[in-house]
Amino acid sequence: MDEKTRAAIERLKQNKGLAEQIMRSGDGQQLMQRLTQGDGGAALNRAAANAAKGDTRELSAMLQGMMSDPNTAAMMSRLSDKAKQ
């Protein structure tokens, strides 16, 4: 995970309202649908639990895999921009 991503995550941790706003946005809802499709969110829950313990490899791999789709990459870029505000 690069430093910009780490910084964005820290901002979201410190500002729960911003995280909630982002996840309620259209892009946030679409991202959640894509992350949970197929297994109802089991893989996302496992990756998030591991990330909370400091192991971000699985979550990073999920997100990197999604970045191969140009539409998803654009959506994630917009979400990242919102997190930087």
Which pLDDT score is estimated for 43?
92
Distance CA 27, CA 22 (A): 8
Q: How many whole angstroms separate alpha carbon 54 and alpha carbon 6?
A: 12
Amino acid, res. 61 = A
Any idea how long the chain is? Answer: 85
Q: What is the DSSP letter of 57?
A: H
pLDDT digit string (tens) for the chain, length 85 residues: 567 666 767 777 787 788 888 889 999 999 889 889 889 999 989 988 998 888 888 988 888 888 888 998 898 888 888 877 6
Q: Kindly list the domain boundaries of the chain, sorted by start residue.
A: 3-84
Specify the pLDDT at position 73: 87
